[in-house]
Amino acid sequence: MQPHHDSIFWIEVEKIKPNPFQPRREFDQEKLASLAESIRQYGVLQPLVITRRDIEKEDGGIISEYELIAGERRLRASKLAGLLQIPAVIRREEDDDKVKLEIAIIENLQREDLSPIDRARAFQRLVDDFRFKHIEIAKKVSKSREYVSNSLRLLALPEEILNGLAAGNISEGHARPLMMLCDRPEEQSTLFKEIVFKHMTVRDAESIARRIAYDKVRKKDRFVDPELFDLEEKLADKLGARVHIERKQVGGKITIDFTSIENLQELIDAMNKREGENLQKEHISAMGLDETEEEEASFAQENTPTETPFIDVHSHERPTEEVSHAHEEPVVVNDEDDEDLYALHKFSL
């Protein structure tokens, strides 16, 4: 005899098998303990949803098997609370696997939210196993099609980032800019670590991801001077920060990314500590001088007292460098055509 659809039965806890389509992978043990304490005091207020299958034994007897559809947290907490029986609504035996998964997902979404990864994997199973379209899933869970599609895109992230998202080290908002860098795995991993260790905001992460994506487009432009990218990489390596150099008709602009005021001060300190000799060598290397010219430039640098300027973040004035020309031979000024386009003074920070 088929039980009434809305009837509530008391079923032995140990006879209920878990739902093989349960989308939730992780259960917070502290929350389970809290729920178990509540069940000890007030009982199970919301019945489980299960299916029953009657199996005929060899001796002619009948044995009933129960499989959970919805309510695994309540079932686990009831076991912790020491309950022997639990209230349950028995669904029709003919309910197929698609219905079981459907109910499990909806039940979890309506109660304690699934983690973004568990939700995405459950949606993917509806797509793979039951041929659901995104719009059909959206209607089932009362969400937009974009919500479902964006959830599924999370699964394109590498395992390292998926684990961080499941553990709560980053938010679903942080995952969006990381998805922009799926074709640049090294920089994606670097940005992920920066988000975790520097507690970066979603807005800052999006800004950096857009900058990286923009640089990729620039590098595909055949008219962009490859020397600029070489200089960017050298400067970024020395400062330990992302650098973007933009050349204009006269001079250019250098943009250096920083994540906080403290990080900005570290960059300024690093630049102030650079000795004049090291800066001169970088300048000579950028100009591509031959050995004779390099020796002449080194000799002039040794006999020219220089002072490394101090950069004040609160001042908009450009630092100047006083150079003493005492006891020096007259210097021949080259034409504008010979002027180095990549000289450091041509760029503003």
What token pair was written down for 260?
């906080």
With beta carbons less than 8 A apart as the criterion, state whether 156 and 182 touch.
yes
94 is catalytic: no
The H or E element that residue 138 is part of is helix 134-140
Q: In whole angstroms, give the CA distance from residue 72 to residue 17.
A: 10
Q: In whole angstroms, give the CA distance from residue 177 to residue 192.
A: 10
Q: What is the CA radius of gyration of the chain?
A: 33
Q: Which residue has the tokens 């949606």?
A: 123
Q: Would you give the distance in Å from CA 84 to the centre of its chain?
A: 44
Among residues 335, 283, 334, the alpha carbon closest in space to that of 306 is found at 283
- φ, ψ of residue 94 in degrees (nearest 5): -80, -5
CA angle 88, 107, 85 (to 5 degrees): 20
> Residues in the chain, how many?
349
Q: In whole angstroms, give the CA distance from residue 118 to residue 155.
A: 10
Which residue out of 67, 72, 294, 336 is catalytically annotated?
72
Q: In whole angstroms, give the CA distance from residue 292 to residue 116.
A: 63
With beta carbons less than 8 A apart as the criterion, state whether 95 and 57 touch.
no
Q: In whole angstroms, give the CA distance from residue 154 to residue 109.
A: 17
**Is beta strand 62-70 parallel, antiparallel or unpaired with respect to 85-91?**
unpaired
**Is beta strand 252-256 parallel, antiparallel or unpaired with respect to 243-247?**
antiparallel
With beta carbons less than 8 A apart as the criterion, state whether 147 and 99 touch.
no
By annotation, the residues acting in catalysis are 72
